[in-house]
């Protein structure tokens, strides 16, 4: 289990302060002026006694979403949880509850992205002629399918009209659903939000320009 010991007596940032730090880092990344902070030997030595990340990032495992890179963060800054399609399972919930309960992080960022392969697979699997997936991959895809069906309903599409689905919109709905699942399934996380100690932000990463655009916010920033 990750060490829950904090590295100093520094007061943890508020959810708004943590989000401000992350957005400032993303702006540096987008502008091509990253500072690569807290990545030296001194920082590495500081972290041997524990960690005090400013936020937990729950995102897709896509190789183009290097968390610390796109937020221009350093060692010990982000508590990162990733899987294909950022689907909320028991392991994810347990890990994020550790981040909130033991590490006291004030912010969870749920990060999806454009051109997500898992989202595309979920859209494709609705087709009766879709190729069968492996057992575990299908279980993962099945957790995204509800967002595909919701997009169908909202667009009032007829069965089989999957070609008309906007993958970006399905991805947005899935990010929103992932945020909702964290709050619905974890009493610890929902109570932390209700108390004002924690905020949850759902956002999309634009592969072309590198910008992180938030669209779902639960809690106060």
For residue range 76-102, list pLDDT tens digits in order: 999 999 999 999 999 999 999 999 999
At residue 133, the pLDDT reads 87
For residue range 110-169, list pLDDT tens digits in order: 999 999 999 999 988 877 677 788 999 999 999 999 999 888 787 765 555 555 678 888
Residue range(s) defining the domain that contains residue 35: 15-218
| Residue 21 belongs to some domain of the structure | yes
> In CATH, what number is assigned to the domain containing residue 106?
3.40.1050.10
Q: CB–CB of 16/60 below 8 Å?
A: no
At residue 12, the pLDDT reads 83
| Residue 10 belongs to some domain of the structure | no
| Residue 155 belongs to some domain of the structure | yes
| Residue 2 belongs to some domain of the structure | no
At residue 32, the pLDDT reads 97
| Residue 6 belongs to some domain of the structure | no
At residue 164, the pLDDT reads 62
Asked if residue 195 has pLDDT above 90, the reply is yes
For residue range 210-220, list pLDDT tens digits in order: 999 999 999 99
| Residue 1 belongs to some domain of the structure | no
C-alpha 42/C-alpha 46 separation (Å) is: 6
| Residue 8 belongs to some domain of the structure | no
Model confidence, pTM: 0.90
| Residue 3 belongs to some domain of the structure | no
Question: What contacts 24+ positions apart, CB below 8 Å, involve 203-206?
Answer: 203/109, 203/110, 203/111, 203/112, 203/175, 204/111, 204/112, 204/113, 204/114, 204/168, 204/171, 204/172, 204/175, 205/59, 205/65, 205/70, 205/111, 205/112, 205/113, 205/114, 206/113, 206/114
Question: What is the number of domains present in the chain?
Answer: 1
């Amino acid at each position: 289990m990750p060490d829950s010991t904090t590295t100093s007596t520094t007061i943890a940032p508020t959810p708004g302060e943590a989000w401000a730090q992350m957005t400032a880092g993303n702006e540096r990344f987008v502008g091509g002026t990253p500072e690569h902070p807290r990545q030296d030997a001194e920082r590495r030595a500081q972290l041997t006694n524990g960690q005090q990340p400013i936020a937990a990032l729950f995102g897709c495992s896509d190789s183009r979403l290097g968390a610390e890179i796109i937020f221009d963060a350093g060692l010990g800054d982000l508590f990162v949880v990733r899987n294909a399609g950022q689907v909320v399972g028991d392991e994810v919930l347990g890990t994020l509850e550790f981040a909130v309960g033991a590490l006291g992080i004030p912010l969870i960022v749920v990060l999806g992205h454009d051109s997500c392969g898992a989202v595309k697979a979920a859209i494709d699997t609705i087709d009766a002629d879709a190729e069968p997936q492996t057992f575990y991959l299908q279980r993962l895809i099945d957790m995204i399918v509800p967002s595909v069906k919701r997009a169908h309903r909202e667009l009032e599409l007829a069965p089989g009209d999957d070609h008309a689905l906007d993958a970006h919109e399905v991805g947005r709905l899935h990010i929103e659903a992932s945020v909702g699942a964290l709050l619905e399934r974890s009493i610890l996380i929902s109570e932390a939000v209700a108390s004002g100690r924690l905020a949850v932000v759902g956002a999309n990463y634009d592969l072309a320009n590198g910008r992180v655009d938030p669209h779902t916010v639960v809690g106060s920033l």
